Chains A and B, each alone.
Chain A
Amino acid sequence: MKENPYQPWLATIDSICDEVGGQRAIKTFRLVFQDEKVREKFTFLPGQCVMVSLFGKGECFFAISSSPTQKGFIEVSVLKLGKVTSALHECEPGDVVGVRGPYGNHFDVSGWMGKNLVLIGGGIGQAPLRSLIKYVVDNRKQYGKLDIIYGARTSKDLCYTKDFAELKTCEDTNACLSIDVKEDGWSDFVGFVPDNLMRVNPSPKNAIAVTCGPPIMIKYVIQNLGKLGFSEDQIFTTLEMRMKCGIGKCGRCNIGNLYVCKDGPVFSYKQLQNIKGEQ
């Protein structure tokens, strides 16, 4: 029999980055597989996920927020919410966790070569987009224009601020941040992400739009993308569900006949329109 798909590899927490100072706590964990062979063998593409275990507490499913172009480690960003994520937030560098994966489908990075990309994220939903952004930046010549639209409630809730500081200096990248309400010293857009999208006004021509974030944001972003002329098969999003196995067996992550862990998490808006099921 093949390897046991439920049994995780051990990984050491290399470093922890406190992403936000807002009400919600988000930390990004850099994980390094203990076994060198695993480090080499473990390959993934932006959008894919891993199941991270804290032994004794349980497992949680996360989008990988680092890029496959970064070697030697993977990163996951964790919003403190339930039992496992709260315990993860207590961890320190050097602590050991379990990782299995990668799971699910991925952004069609090869199919999208030569296209303009509009990446719209909100809050912690940026995690899979961060992987994609880094990937695109590292393969910059293969892609067209890159518009990044990202927002959170307050400036303290914005994740990956260091990345954005760098992105803003990139010439061929248009990174637009927003916060929901006005704050002193904020020079970027004030307002909701869907509104920022309208302001940026990307052209649908030869473009792909990807949006990840809270469901309500996604809903309005998709509406607005429609207004801008994006068609159903130009729009992609990632979905979240409660996960246990990550490999299409335990049953709970289904939307209609599709399993988010296996058939997702990336779906085109066109696909979503056609499935009957609860999201």
Chain B
Amino acid sequence: MKVSTMEKYILLKNKLPEWINMITPTYTIFAPVKEEDLVFFKPITKPSEMTLAYSNAIVPPKAQMFHQTETMFTFTQGKNIRVNPASLPDEKIVVFGIRPCDAKSLSIIDPVFTNDFEDPYYLTKRKNAILVGLSCNQPTVNCFCTSLNGSPASPEHLDILLTDIGDKYYVELNSEKGKQLVEKTKKLFTPATDADSKKKKDVEKKAVDAITRQMKINNVDAFVKKLDTIFDAPYWKTIAMKCLGCGACTYLCPTCHCFDIQDETTLDKGARIRVWDSCMRPEYTLHASGHNPRPERMNRVRNRVYHKYNYYPKNHQMIACVGCGRCIDNCPVNIDIIDVITKAGEVKP
């Protein structure tokens, strides 16, 4: 849908709880909830449980579509083997307060779960979800979405975007799904005025200006190509020396989508499950023969960077990074993707 035809409304802040209450009977609402100084997307039953004064959730809301642990089906073991399909949830969900970058990440990983074989687990949840975003008025130190053509107040990958413009939210409807959700609760919304639109622009500009860390590469597309020429550069070894090979950067990355499949059993019953996995671990590519095509940390660190900035663009014409900064925030040894990419840009082929 074109931005120009987008419908714009105003929702007074004190009306927000009422809106949430009105949609709660129909939807399971995932919203940011604070726990131990961290923010998680969790199902809420009343608006007071959520916190909207947050910078970003520690675990990205990809986890709502791509569960860390998913039962793919169950089976009975023994002579009389039977496979029982897992029931796919048909509950409708609203992910409330999702950031524009995290919404973009879902658009980025959609093709993986769609391609020639549709992934029922992800797609069912994805199709049943309405994304109600919240502009990021106070980006964190490591936010750099603007380096990757994103904006902290972009409605692009959302159904609805709310922007805090003082005592009210500026509401942009960006899809049919979004329109329908508002339609049913129309009495809470009033049309936005030009002054409101201007306010939103100001808020957005302020947020954009607050993002000061940037990848210093001139041209994203050229950089993708450049990576083809520096695959064998000693640079990768240098940055990988300090990598611990944990999964923090990938598990918490909103665009990482790798998984492992395992059978878990009790005496006669079993389940085939899938769990998040990470290319930063040596076991990820280890063959049963003992051969490992990516034996060193250098191979794995490089794979993460290349997968996001070279392989993925080659396959799907998108960089698989939205600039959310989580991998930077959570790396115990300060391996910093902004820095890694910036310096890779300087490496001589």
Contact = CB atoms under 8 A, between A and B. Distances in A.
A242 interface: yes
B116 A252 contact: no
Nearest to A251: B258
Interface string B292-317: 01100001000100110011101100
A245 B73 CA distance: 14
B73 A249 contact: no
Given A6-B272, A251-B277, A262 B288 contact: no
A17 to B, nearest CB: 21
A218 interface: no
Contacts of A249: 112-113, 115, 117, 119, 257, 259
Interface of B: 72-73, 75, 77, 79, 81, 83, 85, 88, 112-113, 115-120, 123-124, 228, 231, 257-263, 265, 270, 272, 274, 277, 279, 284-289, 291, 293-294, 299, 303, 306-307, 310-312, 314-315
Contacts of B124: 1
8 contacts: A4-B72, A6-B274, A56-B77, A242-B285, A242-B286, A250-B277, A251-B279, A278-B299
A279 B291 CA distance: 10
B293 A251 contact: no
A244 B260 contact: yes
Contacts, number: 121
A245 B261 contact: yes
Q: Is the interface of A mostly helix, strand, loop or mixed?
A: loop
Interface of A: 1-2, 4-8, 10, 53, 55-59, 81-82, 85, 96, 98, 215, 240-242, 244-245, 247-252, 254-257, 262, 276, 278-279
A248 B312 CA distance: 12
B258 A241 contact: no
Contacts of B315: 257
Contacts of B293: 241, 255, 278-279
Most central of A96, A242, A248, A279 by chain B CB within 10 Å: A242
B118 A98 contact: no
A174 to B, nearest CB: 31
B118 to A, nearest CB: 6
Nearest to B74: A55
A247 B261 contact: no
B288 A6 contact: no
Contacts of A8: 83
Given A1-B123, A55-B75, A58-B262, A247 B257 contact: no
B311 A254 contact: yes
A-B pairs with lowest CB-CB distance, top 10: A82-B288, A251-B258, A257-B311, A5-B117, A247-B117, A81-B288, A276-B231, A257-B314, A278-B293, A56-B265
